[in-house]
Structure 1
Amino acid sequence: MKYLLLLLVLISFSGCYQVERNCNLYKNGSFYSEIVIDGITYTSRFKRTDNLQVEVFEDKIDSSNVRWINDCEMIFKTINPKNRIEKKDVHLKILTTTDSSYTFEYSYVGESKKQKGIAYTN
């Protein structure tokens, strides 16, 4: 009986915690992101409006149309793709937010392998 009571108390406390996601703070602005892939940290800088993102990564400028699925998810479509990979749309989901950053996961549309990163306000 003690264990049942303890279990009920733990379940009631676990339902009170919610991850903060104020994604509207990150629909427009200047940001930089850090992504770690195979132990290597990659950094990019980008500016985003409601429907356009211009990114600088490894001294290359890339522009994408942005389509918001909901307040915290978007699809990027490269404007002038130069190869097959760039023709693939990218799905990005904001997982958590703070007052100056957000954690996100992204993948090519239709693929299950996801990467995570953090973007910061500039």
Structure 2
Amino acid sequence: MPLKIRLARGGSKKRPYYQIVVADARSPRDGRFLEKVGAWNPMLDKDNEKRVELNAERIKHWMDNGAQPTDRVLRFLDQAGLANRPTRSNLIKAKPGKKAVERVAERQQKAEELAAAAAEASSAE
């Protein structure tokens, strides 16, 4: 049975509150879980200590038994010093798209044409 340490959403509409739970990977997001091991309240300020609450002892127990944290939970565990999340960098995502590159080239071409026309007009006088 593959286990995940993941978020289960609670709270009302537009007021989210998440429980950090250990669940079977095949069960639905807000469905059956084995144990609640923490909570996350994104409505609180980022520097508030009650924003993320973790039961470190139980999380270590489940991770030792093969439970895999999801990416968001792994961020919380990394901040708490319970796990190591490798840094990621997507260099391709930072590059402009094909259309943006074409627009920049078109603007440069128009600027060069205007500069050439202005130089030609000033030399003709």
Task: Decide: shared fold, TM above 0.5.
Answer: no
Compare CA radii of gyration and give the structure with the larger one: 2
Between the two structures, name the one with larger relative contact order (CA 8 Å, sep ≥ 6).
1
Larger helix fraction of residues: 2
TM-score (norm 2): 0.25
Larger strand fraction of residues: 1
TM-score (norm 1): 0.25
